[in-house]
């Protein structure tokens, strides 16, 4: 698979630290929800840096969106979040990965668990689910530090409208909104039992986030009876190399 030229065609601020970039790629045939692309930047002196980013948009021909959270001191994400502008050229390789993917044809319940910017590939799944008119009942458990840090919050609210078959539950780890019923805290067994599909519904399970978050969530899911082979994970390192 070759590197292809891509042009930044639009940028959109999501939160204080996260931004979505639309990349136009000639001949791009779309992707499967959950897939990622490798993005390569080349400096004037020929130095290159490559990172993997999940695709957050619904599958579309000719373009894709990546949603990038800035990693302080990072080499690539500060450029993508702060400096990249429409018209800029990058290279992409993809779409990549045939394992961490969800098919809108699946009729099994869908369980998504996101930590921070790990929402990106799961958002592609939810957008594809809505676009396809899928009736697979879906639940999203989304862990963020504080209310303003949630990416796609407004769109998730629309997607989870009554009758949509989608339920969204937030876990706030540092600060909760006024009147929130639970104290700030990490995803634990009790919250999973309340907000996630039980194992006997045999859901398709996708977990994406920082390594530690994914590790904890996947262990809790397996402890709750989910088969380890049904729990698909996508970790990104402490430096955010794979989101």
- 226 sits near another protein (criterion: CB under 8 A): no
| Candidate ranges 10-18, 165-173, 180-188, 234-242; the one touching another protein (CB under 8 A) | 234-242
51 binds another protein (CB under 8 A): yes
Instruction: Identify which range of 19-27, 30-38, 81-89, 140-148 contacts another protein by CB under 8 A.
Output: 30-38
Residue 226 or 235 having the CB closest to another protein: 235
Least distance in angstroms from the C-beta of 139 to another protein: 22
Q: Does 230 bind another protein (CB under 8 A)?
A: no
Is 118 near another protein (CB under 8 A)?
no
In what side-by-side order are the strands of the sheet with 4-13? 48-54, 36-42, 89-96, 4-13, 18-24, 63-69
DSSP character string of the chain: ---EEEEEEEEEE-SSSEEEEEEE-TT-----TT-EEEEEEE-TTS-EEEEEEEB-SPP-SSEEEEEEE--TT-SSHHIIIII--TT-EEEEEEEE-SSS---TT--S-EEEEEEGGGHHHHHHHHHHHHHHT----EEEEEEESSGGG-TTHHHHHHHT-TTSSEEEEEEESS---TT-SS-S----HHHHHHHS--GGG--EEEEEEEHHHHHHHHHHHHHTT--GGGEEEEEE-TT-TB-
Report 67-106 residues binding another protein (CB under 8 A). 71-76, 93-94, 96-100
Per the DSSP assignment, residues forming a β-bridge with 167 are 139
CB of 210 to another protein, least distance (A): 10
Q: CA-CA-CA-CA torsion for 53, 135, 104, 25, nearest 10 degrees?
A: -60
> Minimum distance between the CB of residue 45 and another protein, rounded to whole angstroms?
13
Min separation Cβ 1 and another protein, Å:
4
Binding mask 173-212 for another protein (x = CB under 8 A): --------------------------------------x-
Nearer to another protein, 36 or 159 (CB): 36
Beta carbon nearer to another protein, 98 or 225 = 98
Select from 49, 85, 175, 184 the one that contacts another protein (CB under 8 A): 49
Residues that bind another protein (CB under 8 A): 1, 36-38, 47-52, 71-76, 93-94, 96-100, 211, 229, 232-242
């Amino acid at each position: 698979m070759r590197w292809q030229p891509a042009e930044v065609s639009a940028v959109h601020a999501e939160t204080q630290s996260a931004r979505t970039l639309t990349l136009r790629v000639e001949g791009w045939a779309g992707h499967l929800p959950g897939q990622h692309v490798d993005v390569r930047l080349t400096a004037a002196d020929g130095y290159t840096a490559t990172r993997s980013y999940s695709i957050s948009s619904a599958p579309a021909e000719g373009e894709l969106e990546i949603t990038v959270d800035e990693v302080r001191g990072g080499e690539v994400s500060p450029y993508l979040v702060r400096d990249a502008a429409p018209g800029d050229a990058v290279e992409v390789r993809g779409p990549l990965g045939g394992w961490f993917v969800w098919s809108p044809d699946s009729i099994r319940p869908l369980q998504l668990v996101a930590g921070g910017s790990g929402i990106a590939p799961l958002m592609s799944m939810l957008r594809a689910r809505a676009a396809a008119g899928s009736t697979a009942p879906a639940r999203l458990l989304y862990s963020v530090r504080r209310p303003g840090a949630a990416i796609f919050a407004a769109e998730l609210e629309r997607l989870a409208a009554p009758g949509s078959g989608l339920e969204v539950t937030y876990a706030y780890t540092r600060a909760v909104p006024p009147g929130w019923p639970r104290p700030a805290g990490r995803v634990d067994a009790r919250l999973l039992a309340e907000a996630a599909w039980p194992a006997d519904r045999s859901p398709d399970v996708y977990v994406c986030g920082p390594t530690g978050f994914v590790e904890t969530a996947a262990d809790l899911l397996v402890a709750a009876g989910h088969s380890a082979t049904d729990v698909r994970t996508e970790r990104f390192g402490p430096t955010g190399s794979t989101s």
